[in-house]
Structures are given as structure tokens and as C-alpha cells.
Amino acid sequence: MGEMEVPSDVLYGASTQRAVLNFPVSGRRVHDDVIRAFAMLKGSAASVNAGLGKLDQDRADAVMSACRQILHGLDDRGGLGRHFPIDIFQTGSGTSTNMNVNEVVANLVCLARGAEIGSSKDNAYLEAGGVHPNDHVNMGQSSNDTFPTAMHIAGALLIENALRPALSKLQGELDNKAKALDSLIKTGRTHLMDATPIRMGQVFAGYAQQVKLGNDRAGWAAREMLVNMPIGGTAVGTGINTFTGFAERVCAVLSKSLGLSFTESDNHPEAQAAKDSFVSAHGYLKTIAVSLSKIANDIRHLGSGPRCGIGELNLPAIQPGSSIMPGKVNPVVCESVMQVACRVIGNDTTVTMAGMGGVGSIFELNVAMPVMIDAFLESVSLLANVSNVFVDKLLVDLEVNEARCTELLESSLMTITALAPEIGYDKCAALAKQAHKEGKTIKQIVSEQNLMPAERLAELMDYDSMTRPG
């Protein structure tokens, strides 16, 4: 395609530079986790190619060493990260990023061997055992199977190493609250209206169960949907220019080094033409976001006040809430959780659209993979980070206003539900309306009308028993 000037201080080559110039779109570069996944994949492929007798061991060792450099040098963009500059909104197959990695690996080998950057295109260097970005680093591979494979590696690892531990931590704290608060009884609410009593422990146990189920969903997404790998399909899923046993062996190497059971796809055309696994897996992430938002929204409403709201919970004051109203404190952590949910739900639309024919998947290749994996990884990271914040900045210091819980419970009209089996639904409805009109409690109105012995009224109006069926 003609000459291309490349900055002298970078490790990439002409293909990467063309992509840099072609796609000045967002300023958001491909996620580091995708680059790390590529380094894991390229190193594994080199090892397998050597084992298959397709790549000499010296070149394979050089490629693997360069890949290890990338893995350890991506901690910040000031290190090796600056050599991976391509925008997310690039070619939909991720070809630019695959070539970027190939070029950087090849040039790292050049430096390791005392050759100038760019020598990987020099015939004399290659004849002396040098590494070429396409012929050696990309051996037996195509962007069309490496980029989606890197997506699978990055997505599964981030869920397992970041999201699932964060959700376990959140579930644990909610379980602790459920146990500690199980004897405290409060007013239940449905439709935002007073309902029958419930133990605070039951409320938090419900939250803990939501998070547990979310963690199970995350595990299912990582271990069942993302471990089936496209590698080996090359250009269109037929496996042209790859080798018998290559994909299976690459998956085995990755499984051993990463602790997840990666397997070769049962159907390579499906694995490359469609990314339904990511659409489905992100659906689970969306469900987790909905759960966290529900929990955060409940807690902020239960903590509303401190004098003119429900006020059953005392949320920790971690920052001033207003620039004009002195002393105001807001449920900022809950708001953060709910905003993350908004973003994840929005990302779900991005992932869904990227998976659709005519937008992403068409014929033998999905062509919206970079934006798909960016949205996916953002969702995983946001959910993991905000779960940790939820615990550290709110739940550990969350307190219950027992006096307020008792006050509201005593004034609730719906405790009369416990009397309905003895005096009837219609009579109870009339008594509740009368008590509300006269500003009295249920106990007061029933006692005044001598509808049952005091001992029986006390027995039926035992709030704790109302929370324990039978």
C-alpha cells in the first residue's frame, strides 16, 4: 500500500500506524485486558507451533519471551501500553489490533536480539532467524479467530478474577447484616404502602440471595459461555492455513496457565460468524446490575430522612451533600450503584446490537467485535468496582434506627391482617379505616371495642410471630 512513516520511538509498524491515522474517533484505546489476552494467546500459539514442528524452537522462545514482556509491561499506559494506540472504533474484525500485537511482538524480538526496530521485514535478518509479524507471530492464525478468542479470554478472566470475588464479598456482608439484624422487626411495604411486618434480617437475607444468584450467573457466563474458543477457524471458520491439533493444543496451554477450562469450539463457522455467547453472557451482567440497583434503591429509601422520611436505616455520612444546604447528607453510594446499573443496561444494548445481523454479525464474520468487548469489559469492571464500594463505603457502617422501626411498626394499620382469620376480612378493613381516621393504633381500636380477650389480642398481635408462617 506504499510507504508509511512510523514514529521512531514506537514498537509498532506500518499496519498499526495506518489504523492510528484512519480511526481518530474516540481517543479510547482497546482495553488492556484484550491486549493481555492477545499476549497470552500469541505466546501459547508459538509454543504449540513449535510442538507441532511448524515453528523452530528458537523463534518460538523469542515470541513467548516478548509476550511475557507485554503481559508484565501493561500496568500503565506510560509503559508498553503506549505501543497499543488503536481506537476501539476501528475495523470491526479487530484486524488492526491483531496486527498491532504482531508488530510489537516482532519488534520486541528485534530489540532482544540487538537488531533495529523494523528489522522483521528485512530478508537478511529473517534468514538469520528473525521473527516476522505475520509468518511467525501470526502462524496458523487470522484476526478473525484471534480477536474473538482474545475477547473470550479477557471476558472470562475479568469475571472470574474481579467480578465474582467482589460479589462474594458483597454477599458475605449482606449475610452478616441478615444474621445480626434478624431479631429486629419492621414494617413491610408493598406498592410503597404499609404491609405486614417483616424482620430486618429477612430483608437483608433477600438482598444476599439476589447477590448469590448474581454470582452464580456470573460464573455460568464465564465458565459455560466464554470458554468455548474460536481459535483454529482462521479466515472464515474453515481452518485454512492452520494445523491439525493446533486449536485443541492452544486451548490446553491456556487452560493450564489461566485456571479455566478453555475448549475449542464445536463449530468454528458459528464461533466466528456470531457472538451470541457474548450477547447471552452480558444478559447475565444486566441481571446483576438490576439486582444491585434494586438493593441500593431500597436502602436509600429506607434511609431517607433523617426526620422527614422513612428513616429506618442510618447510612454512613461520607461527604457533604449540598453546596447550599448546610448539614445535608445524601445516599451517594446508592446513587453510584444505580448509575452503574444504568450504564450496564446501556452496554447491554450495545452488545446486543453488535451481535445482530446487519450491524455486527453478517455472513462469515462479526464485524462489531471491538465495541462489543469494550462494552462487555466495562460492565464487568463497573459491577466489580461498585460492589466493593458498596461494601466498604456503606454496608460495613450501616446502622438500623431501632426506635424508628418500632414507632412505624406500632402505627402500621396492616398488622390487622393477623386478626382477619378470627374476625373476618371486611370487619378488619372497617377497623383499619376507623383507626386511620381517628389516629389510633390497631391494638387501641380493637381493645376499645372488646372484640377479643386481651390475652388473645396480644397473642395475635405478636409481631415476631407474624414473620414466621405456621
CA atoms lying within 13 Å on the CB side of residue 325: 5
Contact 398, 315 (CB under 8 A): yes
Active site residue 322: yes
**Cα separation, 337 vs 119, whole angstroms:** 50
* Cβ proximity of 281 and 225 under 8 Å: yes
> Residues for the chain: how many in total?
470
> For residue 180, what is its C-alpha cell?
445480626
Q: Which of 191, 261, 277, 301 is catalytic?
A: 191
What is the Cα–Cα distance from 108 to 63, expressed in whole angstroms? 9
Residue 28 DSSP one-character state = P
Alpha-carbon gap, residue 245 to 167, rounded angstroms: 38
How deeply is 157 buried, as exposed, middle or buried, from its count of CB atoms within 10 A (0-12, 13-18, 19+)?
Answer: buried
**What count of other Cβ atoms lies within 10 Å of the Cβ of residue 124?**
8
191 is catalytic: yes
* Cα distance between residue 65 and residue 129, in whole Å: 15
Sign of CA dihedral 343, 347, 349, 350: positive
Q: Which three cell numbers stand for residue 126?
A: 529473517
Three-state DSSP state, 259: coil
CA 68 to the chain's CA centroid: 26
Beta-bridge mates of residue 199: 185
**Active-site pick, 183, 257, 261, 322:** 322
Q: Where are the alpha helices (DSSP H) in 238-311?
A: 246-258, 268-273, 276-302
Active-site residues, by number, are: 191, 322
